[in-house]
Amino acid sequence: MGIDPSAQVHASAIVDDGAVIGPGCEVGPFCTIGAQVKLGTNVVLKSHVVVTGDTEIGDETIIFPFSVIGEIPQDLKFAGEDTKLVIGKRNRIREHVTMNAGTAGGGYVTRVGDDGLFMAGCHVAHDAQIGNNVILVNNVAVAGHVVIEDDVIVGGLSGLHQWVRIGRGAIIGALSMVTADVLPHALVQGPRGELDGLNLVGLKRRGVNRADITALRAAFLMLKQGEGSFQDRAARLSEEADSEYVREMVAFITGDSDRGFLTPK
Our answer to whether residue 144 is catalytic in this structure is yes
Residue 193: per-residue pLDDT: 84
- Cα dist. 265→183, 197, 201, 220 in Å? 13, 9, 20, 11
Residue 71 pLDDT exceeds 70: yes
| Overall average pLDDT of the 242-260 stretch | 92
Tell me how far the alpha carbon of residue 37 is from its chain's centroid: 21
Our answer to whether residue 126 is catalytic in this structure is yes
Phi, psi of 240 (to 5 degrees): -105, -15
User: Which of 34, 75, 116, 126 is the catalytic position?
Assistant: 126
**Helix H or strand E segment including 45:** strand 44-45
User: Which of 144, 156, 159, 169 is the catalytic position?
Assistant: 144
Q: What is the DSSP letter of 114?
A: S
Residue 226 pLDDT exceeds 80: no
| Overall average pLDDT of the 3-14 stretch | 98
CA-wise closest residue to 67 among 49, 54, 79, 51 = 49
3-state class percentages of the chain: helix first, strand second, coil last, to nearest 5? 20, 30, 55
Is 84 in contact with 108 (CB distance < 8 Å)? Answer: yes
Residue 1 pLDDT exceeds 70: no
Residue 228 pLDDT exceeds 90: no
What's the pLDDT tens digit per position in 189-213?
989 888 889 999 999 999 999 999 9
| Overall average pLDDT of the 226-230 stretch | 83
What's the pLDDT tens digit per position in 128-164?
999 999 999 999 999 999 999 999 999 999 999 999 9
**DSSP per-residue string spanning 186-235:** EEEETTBTEEEEE-HHHHHHTT--HHHHHHHHHHHHHHHHSSS-HHHHHH
What's the pLDDT tens digit per position in 102-135?
999 999 999 999 999 999 999 999 999 999 999 9
Mean pLDDT of the chain: 96
User: Which of 114, 127, 151, 181 is the catalytic position?
Assistant: 127
Residues 76, 123, 28: CA angle, nearest 5 degrees: 110
